[in-house]
């Protein structure tokens, strides 16, 4: 069977899907390693349904990538690597992902990746103080930065429209790691 030039990325929710469709997808397709890019939400879906999709894509020898947040785990720095390893093991057991290399953990939540790439002029426009390292930013801290009168979705979309991939790589090592592992 010939190598499948398709990549399927399983993400948690709608905000993750928006990020991967609008930010990651163009990066992947620009490098021409894959001809087709699709995202699928796995959170709140039946485990069997997710597994059936994964099996179908793997049988076609397509690349399957699984992305999940680190958010449900204590933030003790001494345990980060063992917690990430445990999350990957749990994911491999629950879903039919064959390799830990195809499982990525977003630290701490996707919102930290959004904030990492927010351009300086965007931050200035909304009077948001620049943050040197967003890896420890959680959802609550992120939405505390949202301007009054703007919905959460509007805030996320506004950031996407003012996103700098190079800046994001510098400000969030889990985003940088993801892109490097994807060959970007």
Q: What is the pLDDT of residues 103-148, one digit of tens each?
A: 998 888 999 999 999 999 999 999 999 999 999 899 999 999 999 9
The Cα angle at residue 68 between residues 172 and 63, in degrees rounded to 5: 100
Residue 97 has a CB neighbour count (10 Å cut-off) of 20
Tokens found for residue 60? 């076609």
Rounded to whole angstroms, how far apart are CA atoms 55 and 151? 37
At 41, is the secondary structure helix, strand, or coil? strand
What are the residue ranges spanned by the domains of the chain? 6-181
Residue 58 has a CB neighbour count (10 Å cut-off) of 17
What is the pLDDT, as a whole number, of residue 166? Answer: 97
What is the pLDDT, as a whole number, of residue 1? Answer: 40
Rounded to whole angstroms, how far apart are CA atoms 46 and 30? 33
| Burial class of residue 132 (count of CB atoms within 10 Å of its CB; 0-12, 13-18, 19+) | exposed
Backbone angles phi, psi at 90, to 5 degrees: -60, -40
What is the pLDDT, as a whole number, of residue 75? Answer: 52
Q: Dihedral through CA 104, CA 155, CA 142, CA 19, nearest 10?
A: 0
- Residues sharing a CB contact under 8 Å with residue 168, sequence separation 6 or more, in sequence order: 113, 116, 117, 175, 176
- Residues sharing a CB contact under 8 Å with residue 8, sequence separation 6 or more, in sequence order: 38, 39, 40, 53, 54, 57, 62, 63, 64, 65
What is the pLDDT, as a whole number, of residue 175? Answer: 97
What is the pLDDT, as a whole number, of residue 126? Answer: 96
Which residues of the chain fall below pLDDT 50?
Answer: 1-2, 74
Q: Order of strands across the sheet with 63-69? A: 36-41, 6-11, 63-69, 103-106
- pTM comes to 0.90
For residue 120, the Cα-to-chain-centroid distance in whole angstroms is: 22
């Amino acid at each position: 069977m010939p190598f499948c030039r398709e990549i399927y990325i399983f993400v948690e929710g709608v905000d993750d899907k928006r990020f991967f469709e609008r930010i990651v997808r163009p990066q992947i397709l620009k490098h021409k390693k894959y001809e087709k890019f699709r995202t699928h939400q796995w959170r709140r879906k039946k485990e069997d349904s997710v597994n059936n999709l994964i099996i179908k894509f793997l049988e076609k020898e397509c690349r399957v990538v699984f992305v999940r947040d680190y958010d449900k785990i204590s933030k003790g720095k001494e345990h980060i690597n063992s917690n990430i390893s445990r999350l990957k093991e749990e994911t491999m057991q629950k879903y039919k992902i064959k390799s830990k290399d195809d499982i990525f953990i977003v630290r701490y939540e996707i919102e930290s990746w959004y904030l990492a790439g927010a351009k300086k002029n965007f931050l200035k426009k909304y009077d948001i103080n620049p943050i040197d390292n967003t890896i420890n930013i959680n959802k609550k801290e992120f939405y505390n930065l949202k301007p009054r009168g703007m919905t959460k979705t509007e805030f996320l979309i506004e950031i996407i429209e003012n996103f700098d991939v190079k800046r994001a790589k510098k400000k969030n090592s889990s985003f940088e790691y993801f892109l490097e592992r994807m060959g970007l």
